[in-house]
Structure formats: C-alpha cells, structure tokens
Structure 1
Amino acid sequence: MFKEIAFPEFIGETEQAVVLVVPALDQDLSVLFNRFHEGEEIDYWFKWELKSGETDGFMVALQIGWDEEDVISIGFTFDMWEYLPVITKRSNLVLMTDWALIEEGIAAGMDKMGRFRPKALLVRDVGQGIDELSSTVAEQAMFSEKSTELIQLLEILQRSFVSGYNMH
C-alpha cells in the first residue's frame, strides 16, 4: 500500500554508502527489520520517480517495496538534489530509522540478548533507474512551465552518470 512521502532528517556518506536517517519510517519498517533479523530472505524492489506538486515544484522520490503491497517513499526536495550524484556514485544506500545508530554507534543496535539488530536497511545498486528518471525529467522539461527547475535537475542527474563512469 502506498504511504506518504517521508523526508530524510540526515544525509551522510561513507566510502561504501550514502546514509539516510528517516525516523518517520520507523513504524513502516519495523516489521521488515524484524523479519530480516530473524534471518528471512526478503526480495525488495526500488525505483526512482519524479513527483510534481501544485505549488511546491518538483521532487525526486525513491520508492522501496517488498511483498505485494508494502511500499515506502523517500522524498528528495530541491535542496537535496545535489546528493543524487553521490548516491549513484556510492551505489549503496543505508536507510536508518533510529538516530541512536549515528549518535551511539553499534551499541544502539544491540538487543537485550546481545545480538546486533539495527533499524537499518541496505539498498544495493541504488543508482539503477537514475537513467530512467533522467529520461522522465527530460521529457517533462519539454512541456513544463517550470522547465528551469527540471533542467537543473537534469544537469544534476547527468553528473550522476559521469560519476558512475569514473568508478570503473
């Protein structure tokens, strides 16, 4: 089932991944985290989309889904678009819902029995689909009154491709 769009409260990067802290998704992801921690293999999918608001302009959304109806959506506003090439370059995204993992480290992810069970989801190859998003943005830019904003997004997305090629 489609939920509202949640926004990251923190975006950071390591050498291996971009880290997003989105506490608003804690309840939506708690069952999924429990299933992962119990060793269940869960197939998930993700896709990048361009969203437009009546007055807000445009937003990029990363949708992540599993099972048949569970979907979360993370929004990247105009101010966050500069992170898109970094996300593509790092290729991996760690989605966390608990600030304690940043503030306290590994100890915050330990349960009462001493098992490491962080409220975190690793999304691999998260840059896949940016090319499709770029095509959508280019198409929309041709017909939108707000084309300058879309052209700026397109330029940012194109940096994602250049970054990706430099990694090989």
Structure 2
Amino acid sequence: MQKEIALPEFIGETEQAVILVVPALDRCLSVLFKRFHEGEEIEYWFSWELIPAENGGYMVTLDIGWDGENAVSVGFNLDMWEYLPLITKRGHLVLMTDWSLIEEGISAGVDKMGRFRPRALLVRDVGRGMEDLSSKVAEEAMSNRGSTELIQLLEILQSSQKSGLLLH
C-alpha cells in the first residue's frame, strides 16, 4: 500500500519555527483542528522516513499521526532537502493548510465569534528523529553505492547534526 504524500507549497521560517503551507492536507486535518479548537488535548506522534520516489530517486517524509488515525505525510523532495537543517535548527514546525494566515495575518484565523481558530498544527521538537533518519539514509547509501542523491542527503543531514551540536 502506497501512502499519499503532500508537498508543501510554501516553506518559511520565524525565529522559533519553520512554517509549511500544505493546502492538500486541509481535509485530512480538519477534524483534528476542530478537536484542538474545542480544547481537547491530543497526543500526536511523528517520524522522519526515507522512501523511494516514483522517479527512481528518494523523498524524505514527515509522518504525523494521532489517536490511531491514518498518519498524514508531508514530503520533501530533492529540491527541499536544503530545509532539513533549518527544521533541525528551529526545533518546531507549524503546519498550515490555509494560505490566508500567510497572506492576511492572524486576523485570518479569527472566527465570526472572535476566537482564534487557525488551521495550523504546531509540531514541537520536530528535529527529534533526524539522527534516526540519518542512520536510515547511511544504510541505504551503503547498499546502493551509486546513489549520489543519497550521499547528498546524508551530507545535508550530518551537517545539520554538527551545527546542532555547536549550538548547545
């Protein structure tokens, strides 16, 4: 079974987090957003994965799940790998499904009753797990020696871990 992977339409940053706008996940996350806005505390999990891409290359995915629901997957293709060290450095990620928060600001997340109800999910400590991803990439690179793509990804991941160590 192949999972559906949504690619970000926008990647940005603040001092505290990386921002991803992924409108394709709006329907998948709408129930979760509703539960958050009703004040429910929901435990979620996330993991970083390396998967083969249709073009014969590789993609990194951030899989996020909760309450036994199907996980959603955000994909990072070769052109987006350069953001992985930034994600590790910032530590948190805000996953938005609505462009209006970027275009119009916070007022776009306010409902008719004046409550702030953004279509956004904060994933804390999202850099956790990058070491495991790095190990997976190294294993795959060892078994697939001709892949310059995997070597490039491994270098990117290792550079983010080194810079992370220098910051502490």
Q: Could you tell me the TM-score, scaled by structure 2's length?
A: 0.96
Matched residue type, 2:49 = E
Q: Residue deviations 1:106-134, cap 9 Å, x none? A: 11000010000000000000001100000
Q: Residue deviations 1:26-80, cap 9 Å, x none? A: 0000000010010000000000000003524000000000011231000000000
**Counterpart check, 1:72 vs 2:72:** yes
RMSD (Å) for aligned C-alpha atoms: 1.5
What percentage of residue pairs aligned between the two structures are identical?
Answer: 72
Question: Which residue of structure 2 aligns with residue 27 of structure 1?
Answer: 27
Question: Which residue of structure 2 aligns with residue 160 of structure 1?
Answer: 160
Q: How does 1:1-168 map to 2 (within 5 A)?
A: 3-144=3-144, 146-168=146-168
**Count of residue pairs the alignment pairs up:** 168
Greater shift after overlay, 88-97 or 142-151?
142-151
Matched residue type, 1:164 = G
SS at match of 2:71: strand
Distance in 1 between the 2:150 and 2:97 partners? Answer: 30
SS at match of 1:40: coil
Q: Could you tell me the TM-score, scaled by structure 1's length?
A: 0.96
Cα drift, residue 143 of structure 1: 1.2
Structure 1: 5+ residue runs without aligned partners?
Answer: none
SS at match of 1:154: helix
SS at match of 2:105: helix
Distance in 1 between the 2:24 and 2:146 partners? Answer: 30
Cα drift, residue 156 of structure 1: 0.2
Runs (4 or more) in structure 1 with deviation over 2 Å come to: 53-56
Distance in 1 between the 2:54 and 2:26 partners? Answer: 28
